[in-house]
Structure 1
Amino acid sequence: MKLVSFVQGQRQGYGAVKDGGIVDLSARLGPDGATIKDCLAHALGLAAAEVARTSADLALDEVTLLPPVPVPDKILCIGVNYADHAAEMGRAPPPYPTVFTRFADTLVGHGGALVRPGNSKDFDYEGELAVVIGRTARHVRAADAMAHVAGYACFQDASVRDFQRHTSQFIPGKNFPGTGGFGPWLVTADEVADPHALTLVTRVGGVERQRGRTADMIFKIPALIAYLSSFTTLRPGDVIATGTPAGVAAGRTLPPWLIPGDSVEVEIEQIGLLRNHVSQEG
């Protein structure tokens, strides 16, 4: 299934994409599926059965798409997780995953605006594969980790580079409001045979800037879940952004920073295409 969260008028809901429309699951699943987090934790089977026997309730163009999980409890991002990106940034591949956090108010859905802040022009793109947790995970072994994955989505980990470089901590440059694209939907794990065999492409204004293979991650998804769950509890709806391949603006001699009016796309095979535009902070 492709699960989406949306706003229609004054109402927020979630559902599954079917035949170019949306089966409104938030109106159908009851207490076990009251929110998309509840659905991921308790009702994916019920949701699949409902989608199989039901026609779409809404057209996609009737709604505004939100991030698939609008307010994750945790957004854990992995830095320099591709060797070619580590090299372009002048960093050695790390011995452990480089982890930083994002806040929920940084996220925007498909079609929404990535907001270039008023106090920096060093606004960079980073296309990534996001992993969404479906089962609570604490002290999980890598061999068991994939059973805790609900699905996958495209992620735009846009970065404010000068703030990122103020110290060794990445958090300031990763947490300006409206800088994290996420969507357009969450593809459930049963539809992705191997998340480490996907091509990821980032385009700005239709021009390809990044192309990588998820096979080239330094730390694969099972290792990330094992490491993260060793120090925190991962819960349904939590998001892991797994890192970006080479090609970012900051790795180029004349960085082609994002500017207002740019269109930015992250496309991952079997997952979908996330498109955002860049606006200027008012």
Structure 2
Amino acid sequence: MERLWSFLRRFARVTKEMTPSHRLDLLTDALLHYGRRKSTDLEMQLLQRLDRAEKISILAQEDISSVIRDAPVLVSEGDMEKWKKREMELAHQKQRPINTVCKWKRDYIIQLIQFYKFKSGTRESYMECETEIEDSLLNIEKKHRIGRRWQESDSDFHLPLKMLTIEEDNVSRTLKRRGIDALHMKTRAAEEKRMLYQEMRTVIEHLHQQHAFLCSAIKDTDQPGAKAALTQRLHQLERKRYQATVMFHPHVPDIVPVDNSYLCQALPMSSIQTLVYNDDGDNEDDTEDDHDN
């Protein structure tokens, strides 16, 4: 609707001095012209939208790869889906959890979780990170005068853990936000492409229906003038249908060119294959119609 109002806005200076009936006539003509112009280059518009959706999908995948590369631990798109679900759950909660644990306790518990996780693993994996984690834990314990290292069974360990709801991946909120946004972009681009594929099928189906209607009208009429006019309109329709199928087939394989019997009678097959979509010609026709009006 925003594009439609943007198109009609340019008529404001003209219509404000008109009577209501004349204003209605002008806006009706403008809308008819807008609809004719949109239907004329509908195939190109769909392809342009598909191209934008594919570019957005590529950018989103690059952002996802960047988040995976920058994360301090191994993450995947499945982890990002969990972050998104968790964010939606928190957004729907009426009462948000209150973080009342000081920062040093939070950092200390995160280091302890990693410490016990490595310690429970193989000796080789523990030795690789032993020095870094031990130094960090000793610095916190010395600074805050912790005489004995907290164990997993201690209440001092479990109470802050429950209040904070700490995630073991220890990924920053900024990085999670980037991953969630990239995942939303990728999902939206995929939805846009599915919608465009369906719109392409709908356009081809509509052209087939118009073709069947015109063929039936040509057979039912006995007037030479009406038959010639319908045949000319059918040639234009078959040309448009052939162009649409050729443009859509690389993206939707089940859309294949069909027999254009009337167009083949009027033009050789070599001429049909070299038909080019011409926006300038359609615009010139529109301009001539405007001058006539």
- What range is the shorter-chain TM-score in? under 0.3
TM-score normalized by the length of structure 1: 0.20
Identify, as 1 or 2, the structure richer in helix.
2
Q: Given the two structures, how large is their TM-score scaled by the length of structure 2?
A: 0.20
Comparing both structures, which one devotes a greater share of its residues to strand?
1
Structure of greater Rg = 2
